[in-house]
Amino acid sequence: MLKSMKRKALSGEWALIEEIRRRAGKPSGAVRLGIGDDCAILKSPKGSDLLITTDFSLEGRHFRRDWHSARSIGHRTLARGLSDLAAMGGRPITAFLSVALPVSAVRNHGWIDGFLGGFTDLANACDAVLAGGDTSESPSEHVLADIILLGSAPTGTALRRSGARPGDDLYCTGSLGGAAAELAALGRSPRKFRTARATDDHPHLFPVPRLKAGDALRKRGLATACLDISDGLSSDLAHLCESSGVRAEVDAARLPLHPLAQALGAEAGLAAALHGGEDYELLFTARAGVKMPRTLGGVAITRIGRIVAKRKNAPLMTLIAADGTRTALTAQGWEHLR
């Protein structure tokens, strides 16, 4: 836990802890006791289940400091956890941030300010109170972060991956392939993106967790299964199919390509939409015939395929082209920085 260690002051970590504490603000709402003791103390939410998720954000695996601005890294670190909550239809309660910095970053107040600024701007926008965490000096030159999100959903209502049934329709929120397309552009000329801000549309640098859409899906009882597209549509749809014991068909022509993916051309754009990771949209199923709104929580909803029964020797996922050609769709979600 974040403790006020004298010895850590020597390495400059003290400034980091104080800055985190300052930005976290005073405990309020569900938080009885925030940073500064052995544990944080939270009120247990009545009539609700607790949702918990943890996600690493490791330099060289999930981001690069020579590509991503400090603000983007802070935003993305938190967004990974918030998107998991969104996928269950949960509402954030608190976030815990564990972060280990190399000495060079500990002494770089501008970097810390940007990182915590990106983090807290998103936390404030999503009502995710920072209630604790841990700090350390990194054992290498890598910035290491782990985000822990606690959320809640009324008892028994959280959306799961396992509820899809044959006959259900398949939907996604927003648009696909934008994150992969922006990442490719980022890799070509990182300097162009140094001043990118969360207020503009930056699907890779500043993804928007679909908390409102997930909450609306849960409250209105629309989804039979749901998860977020973090690894790429093909990988995450495979998870949904495996968890639910079903197969899926995807209509290529229906996929809502992000303008950045469209700009890649037909083939590369489709690949980005199918296999590009980190779009952080929601992928969900609903009973056929259900009246699905065009938007949920301010984001477009698109029907992109259907769920079918398992059949021996049939592929788990099938891609249907505009001309009706059917090909097996294989999980090819990839890790961008490898």
CB of 258 to a second copy, least distance (A): 22
The full length of the chain comes to: 338
Task: Restricting to residues 258-317, name those near a second copy by CB under 8 A.
Answer: none
Structure tokens of 338? Answer: 């490898």
Q: What minimum distance in Å lies between the beta carbon of 261 and a second copy?
A: 20
Among 114, 151, 174, 305, binds a second copy (CB under 8 A): 151
Stretch in the footprint of a second copy (CB under 8 A) among 126-134, 171-179, 184-192, 256-264: 126-134
The answer to whether the beta carbons of residues 255 and 147 sit under 8 Å apart is no
Q: How far is the CB of 323 from a second copy (least distance, A)?
A: 28
Among the listed ranges 68-76, 254-262, 290-298, 325-333, the one in contact with a second copy (CB under 8 A) is: 325-333
Residue with tokens 């162009």, as numbered in its chain: 192
Is 3 a residue that touches a second copy (CB under 8 A)? Answer: yes
Give min distance, CB of 199 to a second copy, in A: 27
Q: Give the whole-angstrom CA distance, residue 284 versus residue 173.
A: 9
Task: Give the residue with the Cβ less far from a second copy, 114 or 333.
Answer: 333
Q: Determine phi and psi for 145, rounding to 5 degrees.
A: -135, 150
Q: Quick one: which segment of 128-136, 177-185, 252-260, 317-325 binds a second copy (CB under 8 A)? A: 128-136
CA-derived radius of gyration, the chain: 21
The residue within the footprint of a second copy, chosen from 15, 148, 300, 308 (CB under 8 A), is: 148
Smallest distance, Å, CB 113 to a second copy?
A: 22
End-to-end CA distance of the chain: 32
> Which tokens belong to 147?
């985000």
CA distances 127 to 56, 212, 226, 234, Å, are 21, 12, 22, 31
Among left, alpha and beta (phi > 0; psi -120 to 50; other), residue 324 is: left
CA distance 68 to 191: 9
Residue 286 CA, distance from chain mean position: 22
Tell me how far apart the alpha carbons of residues 211 and 82 are, in angstroms, rounded to a whole number: 7
Tokens of 233: 């549509």
Least distance in angstroms from the C-beta of 72 to a second copy: 18
Kindly state the number of chain residues that form the binding site for a second copy, as judged by CB under 8 A: 79
Q: Which C-beta is closer to a second copy: that of 222 or that of 238?
A: 238
- The residue range among 21-29, 127-135, 193-201, 260-268 that interacts with a second copy, by the rule CB under 8 A, is 127-135
User: Residue 274 belongs to what H/E stretch?
Assistant: helix 266-275
Question: Between residue 16 and residue 75, which ones bind a second copy under the rule CB under 8 A?
Answer: 32-33, 36-56, 58-62
Q: Are 150 and 93 in contact (CB under 8 A)?
A: yes
Cβ 249 to a second copy shortest distance, Å? 19
Please give the distance of CA 31 from its chain centroid, rounded to a whole number: 24
Least Å distance between CB 197 and a second copy? 27
Nearer to a second copy among residue 196 and residue 209 (C-beta) = 209
Identify residues 89-118 at the interface with a second copy (CB under 8 A).
90, 94, 96, 98, 100
When the beta carbons of 202 and 276 are compared against a second copy, the nearer one is 276
Q: Residue 324 and residue 5: Cα distance in Å, rounded? A: 65
Among 121, 169, 215, 228, binds a second copy (CB under 8 A): 228
Q: Which of residues 170-199 bind a second copy (CB under 8 A)?
A: none
- Quick one: 148 or 299, whose CB is closer to a second copy? 148
